[in-house]
Amino acid sequence: MPPPAAPRSGDAIFSSVERVNAELFTLTYGAIVRQLLTDLEEVEEVNKQLDQMGYNIGIRLIDEFLAKSNVSRCVDFKETAEMIAKVGFKMFLGITASVTNWDVDGTCCSLVLEDNPLVNFVELPDSCQGLHYCNILSGIIRGALEMVSMKTEVTWLRDMLRGDDVFELQLKFLKQVPEEYPYKDDE
Amino acid sequence: MSKMMKGATSSPSPSGMYDVSKTKLKHQTLLQDYQKPQMVSLSAFAFLFSELVQYNQTQVDNIAELERRLEDAGYAVGARVLELFCHREKGNRRETRLLGILSFVHSTVWKVLFGKVADSLEKGTEHEDEYMISEKELLVNRFISIPKDMGTFNCGAFVAGIVRGVLDGAGFPAVVTAHFVPVEGQQRPRTTILIKFAEEVLRREARLG
């Protein structure tokens, strides 16, 4: 059996994949948020729907992440967070996040983003102050981690659209989900 | 939502203070170097677009309605694209002539959004008011396969909406639709964006000579 390939850096993957202009991405996301606001009316409902859409993406995106990054199982949650910040964000969005604010057990940390292509051209009107505009991102992380047996809770602590100087996502590890095999191999 | 910013105007924060962080964010975006645009991975866009389609599928009960909703989403993008590109690439001038605006769509808009000029821009042979932009492999159709029971559904409706948004904003109202056109010897059809201008547009164009 060939030795497992070394994990690739986010930069290496990002420069090898096909890319599209971030403005198309940004404006398309804006159109989605606007449709949701029109359809659902309640800002809270929009937050929920964005999170759900992110979750749907996350459970599919993890496959591509694992296939392209050669990352094997992370030894602990710290390594997981670093992978998301340095490889995950980079290979899909071309940005990196920093990981800070670890709690003593190493089960809760913050991902800090200074750059976020989702929010270009966006200004939150007064009627949308409760909106977590980037809620799709937290849904993606939650969905992707669930597929590698980690239940997490992802919440926004700081948001540049609300006047903060960075985006801060809190990542809390809840529990390891035991793997369930849908079929029995040895029978 | 997702309002395009206009120049240096900025809304004051609730306290009445000038909000520095928001302004910084805006300037970064506007001054972005057009020659070196910020990129994201194609799959990031594909995932997002697929969610747009799937969400809208839950909101409709027929294909025409689904296409209309995708077109609406595209229209919102087109309206902003016109404003942004006119500001950044054309010194705040917009086209006033029919061929000018069509080539703006076919060249500038396509180049920035899809990284290439559209494959072709043609005038309809049967009707004076029809123009077609064709693309062998439209970005939004790349990862999409249409199930048989969805007939002629075309995700290109989203791009048709972008085109309509740009044209409408520039004062060229039109009906814009996306169609698959089979290509001989090719498995996948190409996508044609059919633009049918409103009567008033042609009358004005004739008057301008």
A-proximal residues of B, 38-97, CB under 8 Å: 38-45, 47-49, 51-52, 54-56, 59, 69, 72-74, 76-77, 80-81, 84
**Contact indicator for A87, A9 with CB cutoff of 8 Å:** yes
Q: Which residues of B touch A19 (CB under 8 A)?
A: 39-42
Residues of chain A with pLDDT under 50: none
Whether chain B has a CB inside 8 Å of the CB on A15: the answer is: no
Q: What is the pTM assigned to this prediction?
A: 0.88
Distance, in angstroms, between A163 CA and closest chain B CA? 6
What is the model's pLDDT at position A66?
95
Partners of A167 in beta bridges: A113
What is the model's pLDDT at position A183?
64
What is the model's pLDDT at position B35?
58
What is the model's pLDDT at position A72?
84
Q: Which residues of B touch A93 (CB under 8 A)?
A: 40-41, 44
Most distant CA atoms of chain A, gap in Å: 61
What is the model's pLDDT at position B12?
44
**Strand order through the sheet with A150-158:** A98-100, A108-113, A167-176, A150-158
Compare all CA atoms of chain A with the CA of B37 and give the residue at the minimum distance.
A21
What is the model's pLDDT at position B9?
42
User: Is A120 in Cβ contact with B29 (below 8 Å)?
Assistant: yes
Residues B62, B56: Cα–Cα separation, whole Å: 11
User: Is B115 in Cβ contact with A94 (below 8 Å)?
Assistant: no
For chain B (209 residues), the mean pLDDT of every run of 10, in chain order, is 43 46 55 70 95 95 94 96 88 88 95 94 94 91 76 89 97 96 88 96 94
What is the model's pLDDT at position B1?
42
A-proximal residues of B, 3-32, CB under 8 Å: 3-5, 11, 13, 19, 21-22, 25-26, 28-29
Give which of B165, B168, B173, B143 is closest to B155, Cα–Cα: B143
10 Å Cβ neighbour count for A184? 6
Residue B3: DSSP 8-state:
P
Compare all CA atoms of chain A with the CA of B22 and give the residue at the minimum distance.
A163
CB nearest B43 (choices: A35, A36, A92): A92
